[in-house]
A = this chain, B = another copy of it.
Amino acid sequence: MRLSRYFLPVLKETPAEAQIVSHRYMLRAGMIKQASAGIYSWLPLGFKILRKIENIIHEEQARAGHIAMLMPTIQSADLWRESGRYDAYGAEMLRITDRHERDMLFTPTAEELITDIFRANVSSYKDLPLTLYQIQWKFRDEIRPRFGVMRGREFYMKDGYNFDLTKEDALHAYNRHLVSYLRTYERMGLQAIPMRADSGPIGGDDTHEFLVLAETGESEVFYDSEITDLKFGDREIDYSSRAQCQAVLEEFTSRYARTDETHDEALFNQIPEERRRVARGIEVGQIFYFGTKYSEPMGATVTDAEGNKVPVHMGSHGIGVSRLLGAIIEASHDDKGIIWPEGVTPFHAGIVNLKQGDAEADAACEALYASLTALGLEPLYDDTTERAGAKFATMDLIGLPWRITVGPRGLKNGVVELTSRRTGESEELPPEAAVAKIAAIYGVAKA
């Protein structure tokens, strides 16, 4: 993309309403614009990252054997009356009356609708196990929306639902989700720690929240410092193996890690003092096993091998997709702007032309642009006539992990400058070497 043809309305001033750094940078970098309280338009840069995150989630869900679908945003109140949650949900549910005076709502979650789909279509244990998920817009009419996309009213969420014959099968689904979430967050450059949590309005016995450590987190968290040394890494996992998934669960949840909701001071104090940590965290996902809480009242049963009708065991599993952009920024920024991890960066590299209009500089930039594009990478080429300082400030603000700076002086010596946004370190090297280095970083083969 050439910046002159893009829509990147960066702001020089820090918007007064933004209290936390992710909100400030998302507004300043032209990623979002508030449409009304807690409701945002996703400008091109923000949308591009949202879509990258969405794609990572789709890929990791497919890897775990989960199946994508989509449920509508507007649902009838009937199913919610059946489960008893229509009245219980409170003022955060956006209630709507349609032209025929029917009670509708903007869905905050979809246990009822997915259970309805299941009971209408599945009747035999032979069709299990089954895990369906969607990535869809949700609405929660927060009384005081704040922190930008971190606590918005309209938000994008991945919600998945598993249907299993037995509790053991459902706990395997639970573990599979835990594993796939660890992989998902790591691909986004995030360390998200599974912490024992409270089940809240979803209900259920087993539940873990995934928290990203950040000073601005809304939750106080208590954990054993050993937990931050754990990495999922690039290990191979067979999602159909109960033993493998269970082992990962045990590895990542055996140490103390809880939010204030479930914190147990006595247990915490059993950790050696030097490993006790109290910090703040941002919740970016949660997994639940709730057994037959919905299947029993809603009649979601299957016939088992002996011919008995039994309610299925269920769980639900969510990732806060839109809020992840905020969480990543909270975890990865400096005083100049955002620092995108390579896995989610909107553009793989920026190209800054120090002397737009200079024939040699222009040609070198075009050649870099063509080389990177031919590799399947997306560069953002600042081809405007802004001065160098302003170009650097914009690149730093929007946070592309790599920047290639091209100027007449370097070109005389046959070099360009490659700069890491994270370390700030630069090196001079021939343009082809810069392309090769970026190709290696992103793991793409040179054509």
Interface residues of A (CB under 8 A from B): 5-7, 9, 30, 33, 35-36, 39-44, 46-48, 50-51, 65, 67-76, 78, 91-92, 94, 96, 98-99, 102, 104, 106, 113, 116-117, 120-122, 130, 132, 134, 137, 139, 141, 143, 153-154
Which 10 A-B pairs give the minimum distances between C-beta atoms? Answer: A9-B121, A36-B76, A42-B70, A39-B72, A41-B71, A47-B69, A47-B70, A99-B141, A44-B69, A72-B154
Q: Quick one: given A67-B6, A96-B94, A141-B98, are A120 and B74 in contact (CB under 8 Å)? A: no
On chain B, the residues within 8 Å of A122 by CB distance are: 9
On chain B, the residues within 8 Å of A42 by CB distance are: 69-71
On chain B, the residues within 8 Å of A153 by CB distance are: 74
On chain B, the residues within 8 Å of A47 by CB distance are: 68-70, 134
- A132 lies within 8 A of B7 (CB): yes
A39–B70 Cα distance when bound, in Å, is 12
20 additional A-B residue pairs with CB within 8 Å, beyond A74-B153, A137-B137? A9-B121, A33-B120, A35-B71, A35-B76, A35-B113, A36-B76, A36-B102, A36-B104, A39-B75, A41-B69, A41-B113, A44-B67, A44-B68, A47-B68, A47-B69, A47-B70, A47-B134, A50-B70, A72-B154, A74-B106
Minimum CB–CB distance for A173 against chain B, Å: 13
- B5 lies within 8 A of A39 (CB): no
A322–B424 Cα distance when bound, in Å, is 46
- B74 lies within 8 A of A139 (CB): yes
Q: Quick one: given A67-B7, A117-B33, A130-B7, are A40 and B154 in contact (CB under 8 Å)? A: no
Find the B residue at minimum CB distance from A90: B99
On chain B, the residues within 8 Å of A69 by CB distance are: 7, 41-44, 46-47
Find the B residue at minimum CB distance from A131: B7
- A73 lies within 8 A of B137 (CB): yes
Scoring A75, A104, A122 by chain B CB atoms within 10 A of each residue's CB, the highest score goes to A104
On chain B, the residues within 8 Å of A113 by CB distance are: 35, 41
On chain B, the residues within 8 Å of A74 by CB distance are: 36, 39, 94, 106, 139, 153-154
A51–B123 Cα distance when bound, in Å, is 28
On chain B, the residues within 8 Å of A33 by CB distance are: 117, 120-121
Minimum CB–CB distance for A184 against chain B, Å: 19
Scoring A7, A68, A102 by chain B CB atoms within 10 A of each residue's CB, the highest score goes to A7
Q: Quick one: given A41-B113, A117-B33, A117-B43, are A5 and B65 in contact (CB under 8 Å)? A: yes
A121–B34 Cα distance when bound, in Å, is 13
On chain B, the residues within 8 Å of A116 by CB distance are: 35
Minimum CB–CB distance for A304 against chain B, Å: 18
A78–B35 Cα distance when bound, in Å, is 10
Find the B residue at minimum CB distance from A91: B99
Could you list 10 A-B pairs, sorted by A, with CB under 8 Å? A9-B122, A36-B78, A36-B104, A39-B72, A41-B70, A43-B117, A50-B70, A51-B68, A72-B154, A74-B94
On chain B, the residues within 8 Å of A143 by CB distance are: 99
A153–B99 Cα distance when bound, in Å, is 11
On chain B, the residues within 8 Å of A91 by CB distance are: 99
A73–B141 Cα distance when bound, in Å, is 14
Find the B residue at minimum CB distance from A76: B36
On chain B, the residues within 8 Å of A130 by CB distance are: 7
